[in-house]
Amino acid sequence: MLPDQLRSKLREMIAGAESPREKAIDVMYAIQELQGWMNDEAMVEAAQLLAMSPLELEELATFYDYIYRSPVGKFVIKVCDSTVCWLEGQLRLTDYISSRLGIGLGQTSADGLFTLLPVCCIGYCDRAPAMVINKRVYGNLTPEKIDRILAQLAQKADFSGSE
Amino acid sequence: MKKLNSVTELTQFREQLLAEQQGIKKSIAICEGTGCHAYKSAAVADAFEQEIKKRGLEKEILVRRTGCHGFCERGPMAKIFPEKVFYFQVKPEDVAEIVDSTLVNNKLVDRLLFLDEKSGKRCAYQHEIPFYMLQNQVVFGNNFMISPRNIEDYIAAGGYSALAKALSGMTSVDVLEEIKKSGLRGRGGGGFPAGVKWETTRNAPADRKYVIVNADEGDPGAYMDRSLLEGNPHSVLEGLMLGAYAIGCSEGFVYVRQEYTTAIENLPIAIEQAKQLGLLGQNILGSDFSFEVKIHQGAGAFVSGESSALMSAIEGRVGEPRPKYIRTAVKGVWDKPSNLNNVETWANVPLIVNNGSEWFRSLGTEGSKGTKIFSLVGKVKYTGLVEVPMGVSLRQIVFDIGGGIRNDRKFKAVQTGGPSGGCIPEKYLDLPVDFDELSKVGSMMGSGGMIVMDEDTCMVDVAKYFTNFLAEESCGKCVPCREGLRQMKRILKEITEGRGKQSDLETLEELGAFMKDASLCALGQTAANPVLSTLTYFRDEYEAHVRDKKCPARACRDLIVFYIDPQKCSGCGTCRKQCPTEAISGDKKIVHIVDQQKCIKCGTCLQVCPSRFSAVTKLPGGPAPASVPYGTAVVQKTKGESK
């Protein structure tokens, strides 16, 4: 069940729209913000709010890369696999992240911290190879830099967990 | 902020803002675009503010946190007005010195100036720096002058005066005609004349119509729209409003990719500020014209940037293209006439209305008017955003502005037009860049990405990369695109792995021609371009792969061979110790040998071999030269000969 507060926020969001389904992506983003991914229950509830059938919403959820239908880690690592990053050695770096975290593309680390996803150009070509983790961009990546970033994030997760 | 009820009030407001700035002697623009921001430009801006406050200079020196300045390779950047002194790679520690030297005592801080490698000179001013020298930043230039979160900056710099001009003295037809006369063509890829598209929407009978900003910039290598939208959102909004006025509609959308976080933050702020001033909403500036705009976020789908797909996405449907027997300009969002242009196109509109179509036509070539912003990336020395008049040659862009190829490598090709574009070889470097010329050589303008490739880039590998990319992003609705790409992908994989046949090349050409004719949308129709253009210009590379099983660029892993030259190996053991698969055997003072069966071609040995020996070489392919028997002693070198 979605929390009441979120539900009323979503209702408000939908009320401002021409037709409810127009807000489908925003609604799913808001739910993901809270719980990370769209589970079946959330899909049914969101569909109801949007006056869509769960199947119609499913069609959208599975079409777009950033709507998650399975659990994701606290940090979603989106590695750009487009031209410029590729030219600058992105494949090797992705392999490096994979082996560091012990996960393949599309998988989540056992500690639930990291999910690794390949994404289309993030427009950060001047600092290729690049990646986005949650909302932050990291560029000019090297194995050393990746080590540093992953260590920092793991520490951050530890810290917020103990609060 | 007080609502402005007339054009006169807007003018008075601008005069008041300028009067308030009278006491300002100097200003510093600090780039907070995504690129510089990642390099802690915010800390630099903070340091400037603190330093200026500490010295009690707030009334004389203004700090502006602006959008992208273009020269992303050298960020964070600080530009000082009115002198236009440019400092690069500024750190918070440098700030006190800049304030003291440049802002107070009018002296330059040499080490932060751009060093021109060709002349060996430091360049202080914008007009001296080769990267900026050849540019004409009519669209992008305002990024230096305004903070994207402050509408007052935009207004002070002359913003919304084009809207005011239209509302006070031009009919909607006047605006439309001005755009038509200007020859403005869509900057998103197609290059369709904007005015003609507007007219179609204007003439389509309907109770409601829409204008749309396509900010779903997805072409790999292109990021000018992001920089414009995050750095100067009002210029895009003003353009959109002028379009709405000319077309006769009162509603608009901005469809922006979720990845562009700064733009998504700045845009609602810009819209809110414009509303407060009465520049958006009912009866704008006291006129009969009303306009509302909504923001839609993407969710990660390349194909959604296609116009009909984007409109489906706005409706909350799957962002897939639909057949356009009837154009979206006539039947778009909710089947209403909808005019879509990309960010850069809209940002050109206020300039044309303000300066007139004649001015716009004075820039560019016969068929392509105005300027174009390119994102110059890849193996080029100076990466960044470059705005030049249409018609400037590729050579000027890559070599004069971009400084040529990095690490003294040789130029091989420049890829334009995104994944559906093509690779242009050296022989066309003097080609004037515009919509038509690029098409003539089998590429296209696209949204303006220019990816420079050097001699180490394998063109078959590039074609394979793009084909993989397009196969991944194809929505799969029509067979030619879906299956054509799949087959191309398979063939290219075979070729790059050394199993290619001569007949594969003809099959690729045949498939390409078919995809061009039979695909549903532009993505599919152009999906074969990377393969076809590389086949045309770099056929010898394909042939080397197919016939000799060699990769001339030494890039295809399955073909290349790492080899240790027995004459040069000193038996130091560095490569042997670092080889991840223990493929190298040898001992102290014994020549090392690579076991080709075990080698995974990672290249570690090449990287770690001390440069004084340089014994490891990467060969394009074929069987490795016969190795010496295990146990051969290294060649003894006399002193001074080791290099």
Question: Count of CB atoms within 10 A of residue B92's CB?
Answer: 18
Distance CA B204, CA B331 (A): 9
Domain B561-619 bears CATH identifier 3.30.70.20 = yes
pTM, rounded to two decimals: 0.89
Tokens at residue A139, please? 């560029």
> Does B47 score more than 70 pLDDT?
yes
Beta-carbon contacts of B177 under 8 Å, excluding residues fewer than 6 positions away, are B195
- The lowest-confidence range among B31-40, B46-55, B406-415, B582-591 is B31-40
CB spacing of A64 vs B300 below 8 angstroms: yes
CB spacing of B220 vs A120 below 8 angstroms: yes
* Residue in B with minimal Cα distance to A66: B299
CB spacing of B316 vs A25 below 8 angstroms: yes
Q: Domain B371-454 has what CATH class?
A: alpha beta
* Interface-testing mutation among B209, B259, B416, with chain A (most A C-beta atoms within 10 A): B259
Please give the CATH topology (third level) of the domain spanning B459-548.
de novo design (two linked rop proteins) (1.20.1440)
Residues of B in contact with A59 (CB under 8 A): 318
Residue B245 near residue B286 (C-beta atoms within 8 A):
no
CA–CA distance from B38 to each of A135, B53, B75 (Å)?
Answer: 12, 25, 9
CB spacing of A139 vs B334 below 8 angstroms: no
Question: Which CATH number is A4-63 given?
Answer: 1.10.10.1590
Distance CA B518, CA A1 (A): 48
**Per-chain mean pLDDT for chain B:** 91
Predicted pLDDT of residue B643: 41
Residue B642 near residue B599 (C-beta atoms within 8 A):
no
CB spacing of A125 vs B383 below 8 angstroms: yes
Residues of A in contact with B529 (CB under 8 A): none
Of A23, A66, A121, the CB nearest to B221: A121
Superfamily in which the B20-130 domain is placed by CATH: Glutaredoxin (3.40.30.10)
Where along chain A do its domains lie?
Answer: 4-63, 75-160
pLDDT band at B518 (very low <50, low <70, confident <90, very high): very high
Give pLDDT tens digits for B577-616. 999 889 999 988 899 999 988 998 888 899 899 999 999 9
pLDDT band at B638 (very low <50, low <70, confident <90, very high): low
Q: How far is B192 from chain A (nearest CA, A)?
A: 24
Residues of A in contact with B377 (CB under 8 A): 84, 125-126, 128
> Does B436 score more than 50 pLDDT?
yes
Alpha helices in B232-386 (DSSP H): 233-247, 261-276, 307-314, 343-355, 357-361
Where along chain B do its domains lie?
Answer: 20-130, 151-361, 371-454, 459-548, 561-619
Predicted pLDDT of residue B135: 93
**Which stretch of DSSP H or E encloses residue B180?**
helix B172-182
Distance CA B236, CA B52 (A): 33
- The lowest-confidence range among B69-73, B263-267, B614-618 is B69-73
Residues in chain B: 643
Q: How far is B534 from chain A (nearest CA, A)?
A: 15
Give pLDDT tens digits for A92-112. 899 999 999 999 999 999 999
**Residue given tokens 């807007």 in the structure block:** B10
Q: Where are the beta strands (DSSP E) in B455-532?
A: none
Please give the CATH topology (third level) of the domain spanning B151-361.
Rossmann fold (3.40.50)
Of B218, B317, B383, the CB nearest to A121: B218
Provide φ and ψ at B451, rounded to 5°: -105, 115
* Residue in A with minimal Cα distance to B453: A87
Residue B53 near residue B63 (C-beta atoms within 8 A):
no
Of A66, A87, A120, the CB nearest to B302: A120
Residues of B in contact with A72 (CB under 8 A): none
Predicted pLDDT of residue A160: 52
* Interface-testing mutation among B37, B377, B382, B454, with chain A (most A C-beta atoms within 10 A): B377
Residues of A in contact with B470 (CB under 8 A): none
Predicted pLDDT of residue B1: 77
CB spacing of A120 vs B299 below 8 angstroms: no
pLDDT band at B637 (very low <50, low <70, confident <90, very high): low
Q: Where are the beta strands (DSSP E) in B331-402?
A: 338-342, 371-378, 384-389
Please give the CATH topology (third level) of the domain spanning A75-160.
Glutaredoxin (3.40.30)
Distance CA B77, CA B39 (A): 10
Of B34, B298, B314, the CB nearest to A137: B34
Q: What are A's interface residues with B at a Cβ cutoff of 8 A?
A: 18-26, 28-29, 50, 52, 59-60, 63-67, 81-84, 86-87, 119-128, 132, 135, 137-139
Q: What is the rounded average pLDDT of the residues B331-335?
A: 92
Of B299, B315, B320, the CB nearest to A66: B299
pLDDT band at A163 (very low <50, low <70, confident <90, very high): very low
Distance CA B612, CA B567 (A): 13
Query: Does residue B523 sit in helix, strand or coil?
Result: helix
CB spacing of A120 vs B377 below 8 angstroms: no
Name which of B237, B227, B243 is nearest B277 in CA terms: B237
Of A18, A19, A26, the CB nearest to B297: A26
> Does A134 score more than 90 pLDDT?
no
Query: Left (φ > 0), alpha (ψ -120 to 50) or beta: where does B631 sit?
Result: left
CB spacing of A60 vs B317 below 8 angstroms: yes
CA–CA distance from B396 to each of B138, B187, B377, B438, B565 (Å)?
Answer: 18, 21, 15, 15, 41
Residue A149 C-beta-side C-alpha neighbours within 13 Å: 23
* Cis geometry, peptide bond prior to residue B82 (ω within 30 degrees of 0): yes
Residues of A in contact with B260 (CB under 8 A): 123
